[in-house]
Amino acid sequence: MTVLPQRRNRAVKLVVIGVAGCGKSTLAAGIADALGAEMIEGDAHHLPASRDKMSRGIALQDSDREPWLDRLGALLAARPGAAILACSALKLRYRDRLRAAVPGLRFLFIEIEQAEAARRVGARSGHLFPAALVASQFEALEAPHGEAGVLIVAATLSPDAQLEAALRWLGTAGSHDGAPP
């Protein structure tokens, strides 16, 4: 990603969401860097039992995700300044759980085709999430089309184009809420 001058943003709280392989962590880190915000990697906060399940190719259930989402919501809420979270948040009820913890929370959804997500996940090494679980993420996905406070960007855009779209949206979200810039 191109390094941009840091832009301070008033305590924005944003979750970059999508299926495995869409580029959540990369974009979240870029946004955090550009805003001088803290970046929280959701995968780092999974419970040991969930990490074990995923490493064995077992899809997580809602009951596995609930304590994880509660922890992530608490982490975001506890940050006094801007914070950017990378987290799949595939279902509306997961996003609503995070919204309950952090009023005014915004989401950026990276939309990707299943075949491309599987290719990307299969190409990375040493990651917690195996390519065999990509299909289960698409089965669980409730895309946030039409939800307030959500920007949707295509995974086919370059990381720089995604970052620019996100930063433009964050700067004008009050008047263009949910609409691409």
pLDDT at 55: 80
Per-residue pLDDT of the chain (181 residues), as tens digits, is 544 444 555 689 999 999 999 999 999 999 999 999 999 999 899 899 988 888 888 888 899 999 999 999 999 999 999 999 999 999 999 999 999 999 999 999 999 999 999 999 988 766 566 667 899 999 999 999 999 999 999 999 999 999 999 999 999 443 333 434 3
pLDDT at 34: 93
For the record, the structure tokens of 96 come out as: 């609503």
Contacts of 80 (CB under 8 A, 6+ apart): 11
Residue 4 counted as domain residue: no
CATH of residue 142's domain is 3.40.50.300
What's the angle, vertex CA 53, arms to CA 48 and CA 56, rounded to 5?
125
Measured between alpha carbons, how far is residue 118 from residues 80, 102, 124, 125, 162 in Å? 37, 32, 10, 13, 20
Can you tell me the distance from the alpha carbon of 68 to that of 128, in angstroms, rounded to the nearest whole number?
15
* Look-up of token digits 């691409």: 180
Residue 180 counted as domain residue: no
pLDDT at 61: 87
Can you tell me the distance from the alpha carbon of 51 to that of 96, in angstroms, rounded to the nearest whole number?
23
Residue 34, amino acid: A
How many helices and strands, by DSSP H and E, does the chain display? Answer: 7, 5
Residue 5 counted as domain residue: no
pLDDT at 179: 39
Domain range for 136 is 13-172
For the record, the structure tokens of 97 come out as: 């759980």
For the record, the structure tokens of 181 come out as: 């810039």
Residue 179 counted as domain residue: no
- CB-CB contact of 7 with 99 (8 Å): no
Q: pTM for the complete prediction?
A: 0.86
What's the angle, vertex CA 176, arms to CA 172 and CA 181, rounded to 5?
75
Residue 75 counted as domain residue: yes
* Look-up of token digits 């969930």: 50
Residue 18 counted as domain residue: yes
Residue 6 counted as domain residue: no
Query: How many structural domains compose the chain?
Result: 1
